[in-house]
Structure 1
C-alpha cells in the first residue's frame, strides 16, 4: 500500500514549502526513485522548474515539466499520471492526486498558513477514509 506522510514545516512561508519540495525531490532522485512534484497550477510548475535549477549550487537535479519529458528523473506536473509507476509523489496541490495508488510514497508538505492547515487536515481525513494510514512528520 502507498505510504502517506505529511511533512509539517514550522513556518508559514510559501518559499519554505517550495524549497522543501526541491530537497525531497533531490533525495528521492539520489535514492533512485522516480519523483513527481504535483503543483497547484502552471505558474507553480514554472516556479519550481526555476527553483530546481538554482536551489543547490553543488548538485544538479535532473528535472523537466511533464509536457516536455514525462520520463525525466524528476517530473513537475499537475494532474498527469506518472509515466514511471511506484515512485515518490510530492504533492503541493490542495487536493489529493487522482493517481495516488500509482506511487509507492506520497509526501504532502504542510506549512503554518491557516488556510493550508485546514486543507491538509481535510486531506489527512480523506486518506484515512480511503484506507490509508497517513503519518505526520515534524520538520
Structure 2
C-alpha cells in the first residue's frame, strides 16, 4: 500500500509549496529514490523546472520535463499526466486533485503551504485517502 505523507509549511515558515516540493525531491533523491512530480499543467511544470535550478545555492538536482529528457537518465521527472508509467518510487503531487495513478507508487508526498485554496484542497485529498483506508502522516515543516 502506498505510504502517504502530507507536508505542511508551518505558520511563519518561508517559501511556498513549490519550494517545499524541491526540498522533498532533494531529500528523496539523496536517499537514492526516483521522483515523479505531478504538475496539473505545463506552466507550473516549467515554473518548478526553473526553481529546481535555483532553490538552493550550490546544489544540483538532476531533473527535467517528461518529453524533453531521457527518463532513464533523469532521477527527478516533472510530468503533467503521470507518465512515464514505469516510475513507481516517489510521487510528489502538486495538483489540487487526487492523481488517479498514485496507487502504483511506494510513496506519495503532498506538499501544502498556507494558501487557503491549497489547504482546502489538501483537506479534501486527506479525507479521500483516509476514507480509502490509507495510513496518513502529517509533517509540519519550518
Taking structure 2 as the reference length, what is the TM-score of the superposition? 0.88
Gaps of 5+ in 2: none
- Counterpart-to-counterpart distance in 2, 1:68 and 1:84: 17
> TM-score, structure 1 length as denominator?
0.90
Distance 1:101 1:14, change over 3 A: farther
Out of 100, 105, 129, the position equivalent to 1:127 is 129
Q: How many residues align?
A: 139
1:129 shift after superposition: 2.1
CA contact (8 A) 1:34 1:84 kept: no
Task: Compute the RMSD of aligned alpha carbons.
Answer: 2.0
1:8-45 deviation digits (Å, cap 9, x = unpaired) = 11259995211111111111111110101111211110
What SS does the aligned partner of 2:98 have?
coil
Change (3 A) 1:12 1:27: same
C-alpha distance in 2 between matches for 1:47 and 1:14 = 18
Structure 1: 5+ residue stretches without partners: none
